[in-house]
A and B are shown apart, each in its own frame.
Chain A
Amino acid sequence: MKRKTIVVKTEMMQSPDSWSFREGAWLSAALVLVGIVLEVTGGEGGVPFPSWPMNLVILLLLVVNIVLAGLLLRDNPVVRWLGGIPLGLCLILSIAALSLVGGVLPQTKGAGPLWAGAMGLDSVFSSWPFALTVFFFLVNLGLSLVWKTVPFKVSNLQFVLFHAGFWIALACGLAGATDLQRVIIPLYEGRSTDRAWTPADKTMIGLPFSLYLKDFEMLEYSPRLALYDQTHERFIPHKAGVTDDMRQGLEVSWENVEVKVERYLENAIFKEGQAEPAPAGTKDALPWAYLSGTYEGKSLLGWVSTGSPFIKPSFIGHGDKLIVLLPGSPKKYRSEITVMLDGTEEGRSAALEVNRPLSVKGWNLYQMGYDEKAGRWSELSLVEGVKDPWLPMVYLGFFMILAGNTLFFWKGIRKK
Chain B
Amino acid sequence: MTWTDFPYVSYSAMICWAGGTLLGLLSARARVLKISGMALMIAGTGIMTVFLVLFWMELDRPPLRTLGETRLWYATLIPLVGFLVEYRWKIAWLKYYCVAMASFFLFINILFPDVYDKTLMPALQSGWFVPHVVVYLVGYVLLAASSLAAWHNLYRRSKSFDELGESLSHYLALLGFVFLTFGLVFGALWAKEAWGHYWTWDPKETWALIAWLVYLGYMHANSAKVDKSLLQWYLALAFFVLLVSWFGVNYLPSAQDSVHTYQTG
Residues of A within 8 A of B (CB): 85-86, 88-89, 92-93, 95-96, 99-100, 102-108, 125, 173, 180, 182, 221, 237, 240-245, 328-333, 353-357, 364, 366, 368, 384, 386, 388, 391, 394, 398, 401-402, 405, 408-409, 412-413, 415-416
Contact = CB atoms under 8 A, between A and B. Distances in A.
B134 interface: no
A107 B207 CA distance: 13
Given A241-B113, A242-B2, A398-B185, A409 B178 contact: yes
Given A89-B220, A93-B213, A103-B254, A332 B181 contact: no
Nearest to B177: A408
Contact of B117 (A96, A243, A416): A243
Interface in B163-222: 171, 174-175, 178, 181-182, 185, 188-189, 192-199, 201, 203, 206-207, 209-210, 213-214, 216-217, 220-221
Secondary structure at chain A's binding surface: helix, strand, loop or mixed?
A: mixed
B191 to A, nearest CB: 11
Given A85-B223, A89-B220, A331-B122, A405 B254 contact: no
B201 A330 contact: no
Given A103-B210, A355-B126, A408-B178, 10 more contacts: A85-B223, A92-B213, A93-B214, A96-B213, A242-B4, A354-B125, A355-B193, A388-B197, A398-B185, A402-B182
Nearest to B203: A103
Interface residues of B, number: 54
A332 B211 CA distance: 33
Contact of B119 (A92, A221, A241): A221
Contact of A105 (B89, B175, B253, B265): B253
Interface in B132-183: 171, 174-175, 178, 181-182
B193 A241 contact: no
Given A125-B201, A412-B178, A108 B257 contact: yes
Nearest to A328: B119
B217 A99 contact: no
Interface string B109-136: 0000101111111110110000000000
Contacts of A415: 171
Nearest to B221: A89
Nearest to A99: B210
A355 B4 contact: no
For the complex of A and B, 3 pairs with smallest distance between CB atoms: A354-B122, A103-B206, A96-B213
